[in-house]
Amino acid sequence: MIGTPNRTVGHSIGPVRATADFRYQGEVRHHTGRPAYGNPMPAGGFPPGQASAFAEGRRLRESSRRRRQQHGRHPYVAGRRHRPHAVLPLLLIVVAIAMSSESFEPLLLGAAGVGLFATMLVWLFSPVLLVGALAFTLVRRGRRRESLRRGGAPGTAPLPGRPAAAPRPDLVWAHAQRRFHGLRGEYAAYECDAMQVLRLPALADVSVASTARFVDAFAEAQALETDAYPGGTHAPQFVAAVDRAERAWRAAHDAAERIRLSGLSPAERSTVERVIKLLTTARDSDSDAERLTAYARARSELAKLDKAGVVHVPIPARTALDEAARGALPA
């Protein structure tokens, strides 16, 4: 039964009070002369109570349609236009800035003091403020991470580095073996070259402390060297010995570079320089007779220097010089 507000409508079962909740009932067609609820239809169409109910419904529908057209179909709450709440964007901005700050209390107090003004700004510029706050947070965090990575700001500790995985012992031993082979080749090249021995005589003289330390470290590493990975405690001992030998070689070589011929008398230094010049001539001359003569004089002078203890010529250097002299003989 559809009635009108605050009105009693007649019905076949007796007087009935009309409901105040008028809702759309769909298209209504007026069938004149058709009975309604068992009562004969009045000559004018619907009974007066029903006609007034339909009229009230039409009025409400028209009023709702006009409001929708006027306000752009926005939702309404209690007859007023509903606006999005501005608290959520404000909270997002405050949280974003707080995350980039080191102290929350001053920020929260300031936010509470300007809450009303910030709400108005958020109402108008919430998208711009959100984007700006997020950009500010990302930039500040990136700068802070970079400063910590470079050593940290004053009063802060640098970020701890990720601990590296322990290397495999067999790979460490193999790398040490390759280093030792390189060191041995460098030392052998010096001992086989008489020119180098004459330029750096201290590197062949075990009476020099740095050279003596190298010879001992080299002998220790050579004694610990094996063809295959030994395992156990032998491999770490070999690696440590190679480290010591490399350090001792660098120290001995630097010391020999500093000393050179400074420990010799002027006459001995002149003799050494003359032998170097003879060896250079024997190596670069195109004349077989000149090369043979230069090698013979150089070997004689070197033998005198070695016998006098002025310059110690290693056996590999003397052997290489003898082979070079034999190769200079004409075929």
182-237 pLDDT tens trace? 999 999 999 999 999 999 999 999 999 999 999 999 999 999 999 999 989 999 99
What burial class does residue 140 get, using C-beta atoms within 10 Å of its C-beta: 0-12 exposed, 13-18 middle, 19+ buried? middle
Backbone dihedral angles phi then psi of residue 76, each to the nearest 5 degrees? -125, 145
What mean pLDDT do residues 116-121 have? 62
The number of angstroms, rounded, from the C-alpha of 138 to the middle of its chain's C-alpha atoms is 17
What burial class does residue 114 get, using C-beta atoms within 10 Å of its C-beta: 0-12 exposed, 13-18 middle, 19+ buried? exposed
Tell me the torsion sign for CA atoms 283, 286, 292, 297.
Answer: negative
What mean pLDDT do residues 131-157 have? 71
Band (pLDDT 50/70/90 cuts) for residue 105 is low
Q: Is the pLDDT of residue 68 over 50?
A: yes
Whole-number Å distance between alpha carbons of 315 and 319:
6
What mean pLDDT do residues 278-303 have? 91
Q: Taking all residues of the chain, what is their mean pLDDT, rounded to a whole number?
A: 77
Which of 95-104, 217-226, 244-253 is least confident? 95-104
Task: Please enumerate in sequence order all residues whose Cβ is within 8 A of that of 196, keeping only pairs 6 or more positions apart, or say none.
Answer: 189, 190
Whole-number Å distance between alpha carbons of 192 and 318:
8
Specify the pLDDT at position 4: 46
Q: Is the pLDDT of residue 301 over 90?
A: yes
